[in-house]
Amino acid sequence: MGKEKLKRLEKTFKLKFKFTFILPVLLLCIFLIISSCTITNENQIRFYALIIGINNYADTNVPDLDYCVSDAVEMKDALINQGWNESDTVILLDSQASKTNIIQNLNDIFSKASSSDFILVYYSGHGTVIPDTNGDENDGEDEAIVPWDFTYGDYSTLLLDDELGEIFQECPTDKGAIIFDSCNSGGFINKSIRDKGINPKTLTTGSKNPGLNGDLDITSFPVLTASSQDEYSYEIGGEISHGVFTYFILEGMNHGYADSNGDGLISIKEVFSYSKENTIELTENYPSITQTQHPQILFHKSFVDITITR
């Protein structure tokens, strides 16, 4: 075999060797890139929501409400329209919103969520306060929401702020928000006002101090409430047909009115500010409402405002 032919064969061998060596390296790089993209996708922030609305209670001693189910359904729709995944959004209406089911769904979300995820809990229904029995409340009263299966006079069937606090200890993230469109009072609203389509979300359980936000220090999440501690939270029929506070939250989200800085995003503080301003204005001027409703927001000093649009 001539020298020239040997050189050509040697050159061809080197080229084949280089290609044989480089090809696996290229494939490895491609695999790593794909794996990296997959891992990034799996670690993307997820938005979870538990939405609760109760119109009709199991115990006939509890007055039914008119628009809490509509509040909840349209809150879910608003979140989906803002880019939240329907598979990560749970809605409990009327009989679905038993105390056990509410707790179970909270625990289910906490078990799936990571420290980078966002969790929204929304409740529209009756709220109340009862005498504090363990001495952990400065005002001597425990705040509570009223599940569908509440038995009148049996405080153990309420969902107390203390119980919520224990549940939220298992929450893996400090990113989220809780919204309560509810209240309680020392007496039911009289029939003449109910006939005019104005209905406070009230329930008497032994206290004359309305409000569900006095001591709700249950989480690092901001807590948005429809009224202050000694006020009603109203739902109004007709053109509004919602809880007033929720109506303006939905309006602010659905139409972008809450985007106060015009950046195309809506944050927790922005949607609260929009609803608060309009809730006060409406209840202050509505002919049949005698008590203005002042929404409140409670949050820790470390709270960082988070966008609820995606």
Would you name the residues annotated as active-site residues? 126, 183
Distance (Å, whole) CA 186 – CA 189: 10
* Residue of 112, 127, 110, 16 lying closest to 68 (CA atoms): 127
Provide the phi-psi class of 249: left if phi over 0, else alpha when psi is between -120 and 50, else beta.
Answer: alpha
DSSP 256: S
Cα distances from 202 to residues 29, 101, 129, 197, 232, in angstroms, run 63, 22, 10, 15, 7
Distance (Å, whole) CA 93 – CA 98: 9
Give all strands (DSSP E) within 12-57, no chain letters.
47-53
Enumerate the β-bridge partners of residue 236.
Answer: 198, 242
Residues 248-252: contacts with CB within 8 Å, 24+ apart? Answer: 248/274, 248/275, 248/278, 248/279, 248/282, 249/75, 249/179, 249/274, 249/275, 250/74, 250/75, 250/78, 251/278
Residue 302's CB is within 10 A of a number of other CB atoms, namely 7
Instruction: Kindly state the tokens that stand for 23.
Output: 């090809």
